[in-house]
Amino acid sequence: MKCKATVKINHEVVRKIQDAALRAMELTAEAVLSDIVARQVVPKDVDTLEKSGHVEEIKQGVYAVIYNTSYARRWYFNLPTTDKNGKHYRPATFQKTQNSNAQDHWFDYYLDGEGKDWVIKTFADLWKEEAGGLIK
């Protein structure tokens, strides 16, 4: 028994699904930024670090959440350091008055477990929504 099939790819639909994936990726990065704020994990005194957080596309379809202050890296990694003037800094103990869950490495939650699952589900839901019914 032989079977012959002809497949016709609807390139317009494929393009719409691809465009939806790119838009969903950007929206997922924005959702991560919003979730970080809602989880109150960024060290906060006068709000400068938290407010500097934004999403940037670093290449097509690849987004980064960036905190743009002179001390963002220091607070994130929270290691003992010495600045160019020779001043020594010990790891910080973050105050909890503004953000009750303030901590270093505030992105680590999204690398595995519950946080990673949340990112994957958020992307999938946004992709379906952006695709306008093309993805079930």
- pLDDT tens, position by position, 67-110: 999 999 989 999 888 888 999 888 889 999 999 999 999 999 99
In a domain? residue 63: yes
Q: Is residue 135 part of a domain?
A: no
Q: How confident is the model at residue 60, as a pLDDT? A: 93
Global pTM value: 0.87
For residue 112, give the H/E element and its range: none
**Cα–Cα distance, 18 to 24 (Å, whole number):** 10
Percent of residues, the chain, with pLDDT higher than 70: 100
With respect to residue 2, please indicate whether it lies within any of the assigned structural domains. no
Of 17, 106, 20, 31, give the one whose Cα is nearest residue 63. 31
For residue 30, is it within any domain?
A: yes
Confidence of residue 5 (pLDDT cuts 50, 70, 90): very high
Is residue 74 situated within a structural domain?
yes
* Residue 22: per-residue pLDDT: 97
Whether 123 is covered by a domain: the verdict is yes
Asked if residue 125 belongs to a domain, the reply is yes
Specify the pLDDT at position 20: 97
What domain range is 46 assigned to? 11-130
Whether 136 maps to a domain, the answer reads no
Number of domains in the chain: 1
